[in-house]
Amino acid sequence: MKHWARLLLAATTVMTTALPATAAAAAESHSERIIFDGGGDDTLNGIRYHSFRIPALIRTNANTLIAFAEGRAAGNGDYGNINLLYKRSTDNGATWSKLAEVVGSGQGVWGNPTPVVDRSTGRIWLFMNHQPDGHHPVDSWDDRQVWLSSSADDGVTWQAPVNLSASLKPRNLATGKSWNWDAVGPGVGIQTTVRNPGRLVIPAQHRNIYSDDHGTTWKVQVLETTTGAAMEQTGESTVLELADGRLYRNDRPTSANWANVKRRWVARGTIESGFTPFSGADCLLDPLNEASTMRYNADTPARLAFVNSASTTTRTKMRIRMSEDEGRTWSYSRPFSDAPLPGESSTYKEGGYSSIVKTADYHVGALIEVNENTGSSSTSHRSIAFRKVNLPWIQGGVREPNCVE
């Protein structure tokens, strides 16, 4: 429902003195606002969406930000009438377009947005999962499908999605059981620049989906170790390219694996040669939730960014971390609670799924879920906030030299 704080723009920028002693004080900058308003004014085609969840965020070749989300029409649950929606910003997130739809046909689920931008062509490829008729439970292979749409005009319009399940969703797990549940992302894909430059890679459950011909055809690498062992210990997934050209997967573990270590599960490798086995990242606490990663810059010192709820018990401890050694350590971090959303309280809480991108003005842009009433989570409205923080703001947090994967 409409929260009083949303009447504020909530795009507050603060200027403070940074801590480094070796340079002149840097200006910390942050802003935060709700851009998908569950139960509020975000309506489309006669639907006032109860909740918005599962964000994804990209920056196009034209420096347009596109924020995707699942619009959940009647409730906040994972099943039912769920449409894939988006908003665009052409001013680095200061203002956003009205709600628009990629696809929403039928009464089923269109969700798990996982876009990637082809920097060579400018085309945006958007993977998603579809459950016809909102199937629940998902107990057969075709109850949960892989679909693909694209845009050639900077995300203004989208092609009708096509079903690529037959070629991109394996029929069986390594155990021989039917591969029923499935997840692309959710989050974003990447385009590689070091090894196989131009390759598009989409992280997905137990596999990578990739294209070497600018999206004309797509292939699957089922995740295996370098010795050929199946890697089926994780679900929702992220990917980025390391400086040496290897891929870095930082994934949500399955419930059974999470119970053992309560950490993010990470692996490194290549599509051609396989990966190191997944293992728990000691420093990256995880409450069994989605997270987001990206490369912030490649020049020295090269930096990676990571966002999740840094807790083993709650999704409301959202924190951004930076690594300057390709993910071996995460040497500094800052909780987003240092810049709380207007109106945050013991029950109106930010936290959950996220997606991050580097904006054209050198900030980290982040979409983060908001639970409007944690005391009634099964029925509460869910919204999505857009945050921007600059590097000095992140560096103004805490140093963690012993935060080792």
Segments making up each domain of the chain, as ranges = 17-399
Q: What is the pLDDT of residue 25?
A: 55
Taking residues 6-13, what's their average pLDDT?
40
Among 172, 173, 166, residue whose Cα is nearest residue 147:
166
Q: Choose the CATH number for 17-399 among 3.40.50.10480, 2.120.10.10, 3.30.470.20, 3.30.460.80.
A: 2.120.10.10
Contact 235, 254 (CB under 8 A): yes
DSSP codes of every residue in 213-240: STTSS-EEEE-BBTT--B--SB-S--EE
Instruction: Write the CB contacts of 356 (distance below 8 Å, at least 6 apart in sequence).
Output: 57, 292, 293, 294, 305, 307, 320, 364, 365, 366, 367
pLDDT tens-place string over residues 67-82: 999 999 999 999 999 9
Q: What is the pLDDT of residue 144?
A: 98
Question: How much is the pLDDT for 139?
Answer: 95
Global pTM value: 0.94
Residues 47-73: pLDDT tens digits? 999 999 999 999 999 999 999 999 999
Mean pLDDT of 212-219: 99
372-401 pLDDT per residue, tens? 999 999 999 999 999 999 999 999 999 999
Between β-strands 43-44 and 349-358, what pairing exists: parallel, antiparallel or unpaired? unpaired
- Give the whole-angstrom CA distance, residue 100 versus residue 403: 41
